[in-house]
């Protein structure tokens, strides 16, 4: 038996039964997390497949999770283990790392095991919170005009501005982690600028993790920080999900909904989301709406958030079918 199956069976409830077909039936732990009443009829099923893979199927709420040899632990399988009360740090993360080592043949360093750990870094010299500016000049006023045009509110987060020549036409967004500034990005307000961003970014960082509070039902993941700000989500700060980022996002312990940009890179992001067992949202927005920022400009924040939640899909076939239409 695989280590994944052994881990799952170690956290099965005492009340369970083995069926002649090989399934282990028990009260499904997933139902209450998916909007259903608690299962009391042993509708959860776990089976070891012939290829040493593992499949879980809830015949009550329909939740499914699986693992195959050569693949990493998915977000759905991680959620299942959490619902079965397996400890995150002691069991789930170590299992994920063990599987990664077996699959990819590399030694996973202690740095990954001990995530999250980021160094505190300073903002650009003389940077000041925009809300602390008393006397606005023509440059700082342009920043406010840019924020208004991009539907960014002063109370969204701590926005900064710097009077130095290199930054005075840039909006500075700090990167927080556990309430510490661990990086930043300075976005130009000039549409024809050759350098859109100037950033201090540490490997594996995910923007917006501090905002994923316990009262939230799901975590929206997108590419850029301003899109994340609009929906209180997380940003990858790129179009690729790094292993460290996936671990950080999974540690939040919520349903993950990926909203890709409508471009080639966004299409590849969908493939990674499916691999991780995350949901994908491809709302029925106007064809000229290419990302969350565009959606907010056209529909407003509230409807954009509603449309993302409403279009969330975890079934791979349905995601592929929607993507074919969405990227056309």
Name the DSSP letter for residue 165.
Answer: T
Alpha-carbon torsion (272, 245, 285, 287), positive or negative: negative
What single string gives the DSSP state of each residue in 185-218?
EEEES-TT-S--EEEE--TT--BTGGG--TT-SE
The number of residues making up the chain comes to 328
3-state helix, strand, coil in the chain (%, to 5): 35, 20, 45
Largest CA distance in the chain: 77
pLDDT of residue 124: 94
Instruction: Identify any residues that bridge with 176 across adjacent strands, giving them in sequence order.
Output: 181
Strand ranges (E), the chain: 16-18, 24-26, 44-48, 54-58, 64-67, 128-129, 160-161, 170-177, 180-188, 197-200, 218-222, 234-235, 255-258, 279-281, 312-313
pLDDT value for 113: 43
Report the alpha-carbon distance of residue 116 to residue 93 in Å, rounded: 12
Q: What is the pLDDT of residues 21-36, one digit of tens each?
A: 889 999 999 988 887 8
Domain residues of the chain, as ranges?
3-113, 117-202, 203-328
Cα angle 196, 323, 286 (rounded to 5 degrees) comes to 65
pLDDT in tens, the chain (328 residues): 688 998 999 899 889 998 888 899 999 999 888 878 899 999 999 998 888 889 999 998 888 888 888 888 888 888 899 999 988 767 888 888 888 877 765 444 444 445 668 999 999 999 999 999 988 999 999 999 999 999 999 999 999 999 999 999 999 999 999 999 999 999 999 988 888 999 999 989 999 999 998 888 899 999 999 999 999 999 999 989 988 898 899 888 888 999 999 999 999 999 999 888 899 999 999 999 999 999 999 999 999 999 999 999 988 888 999 999 898 7
Its pTM stands at: 0.70
- Condensed to tens digits (0 to 9), the pLDDT of residues 148-203 reads 999 999 999 999 999 999 999 999 999 999 999 999 999 999 988 888 999 999 98
CA distance 120 to 98: 30
Per-residue buried b or exposed e for 47-80, using 16+ beta carbons within 10 Å of the residue's own CB? bbeeeebbbbbbebbebbbbbeeeebbbbbbbbb
Of the candidates 214, 258, 213, 251, the residue with the CA atom closest to the CA atom of residue 235: 258
Question: What per-residue confidence (pLDDT) applies to 109?
Answer: 43
What is the CATH architecture assignment of 203-328?
3-Layer(aba) Sandwich (3.40)
State yes or no: cis peptide before 116, omega within 30 of 0.
yes
Interatomic CA distance for residues 319 and 64, integer angstroms: 16
Residue 248 near residue 209, CB atoms below 8 Å: yes
């Amino acid at each position: 038996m695989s280590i994944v199956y052994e881990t799952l069976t170690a956290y099965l409830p005492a009340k369970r039964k083995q069926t002649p077909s090989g399934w282990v039936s028990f009260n499904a732990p997933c139902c209450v997390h998916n909007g259903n009443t608690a299962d009391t009829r042993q509708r959860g099923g776990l089976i070891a497949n012939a290829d040493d893979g593992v499949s879980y199927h809830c015949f009550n709420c329909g939740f499914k999770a699986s693992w195959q040899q050569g693949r990493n632990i998915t977000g759905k399988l991680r959620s299942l283990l959490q619902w079965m009360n397996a400890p995150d740090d002691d069991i789930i993360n170590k299992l994920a790392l063990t599987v990664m080592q077996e699959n990819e043949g590399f030694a996973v360093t202690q740095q990954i095991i001990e995530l999250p750990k980021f160094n505190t870094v300073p903002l650009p010299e003389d940077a000041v919170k925009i809300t602390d500016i008393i006397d606005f000049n023509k440059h700082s006023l342009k920043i406010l005009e840019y924020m208004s045009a991009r539907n960014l509110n002063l109370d969204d987060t701590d926005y900064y501005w710097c009077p130095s020549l290199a930054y005075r036409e840039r909006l500075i967004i700090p990167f927080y982690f556990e309430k510490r500034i661990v990086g930043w990005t300075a976005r130009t307000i000039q549409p024809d600028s050759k350098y859109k961003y100037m950033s201090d970014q540490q490997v594996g960082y995910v923007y917006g993790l501090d905002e994923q509070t316990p009262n939230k039902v799901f975590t929206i993941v997108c590419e850029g920080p301003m899109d994340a700000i609009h929906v209180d989500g997380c940003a990858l700060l790129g179009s690729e999900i790094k292993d460290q980022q996936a671990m950080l996002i999974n540690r939040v312990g919520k349903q993950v909904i990926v909203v890709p940009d409508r471009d080639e890179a966004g299409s590849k992001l969908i493939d990674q989301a499916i691999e991780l067992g995350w949901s994908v949202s491809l709302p029925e927005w106007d064809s000229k709406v290419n990302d969350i920022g565009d959606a907010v400009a056209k529909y407003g924040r509230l409807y954009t958030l509603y449309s993302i939640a409403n279009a969330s899909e975890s079934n791979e076939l349905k995601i592929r079918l929607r993507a074919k239409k969405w990227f056309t």
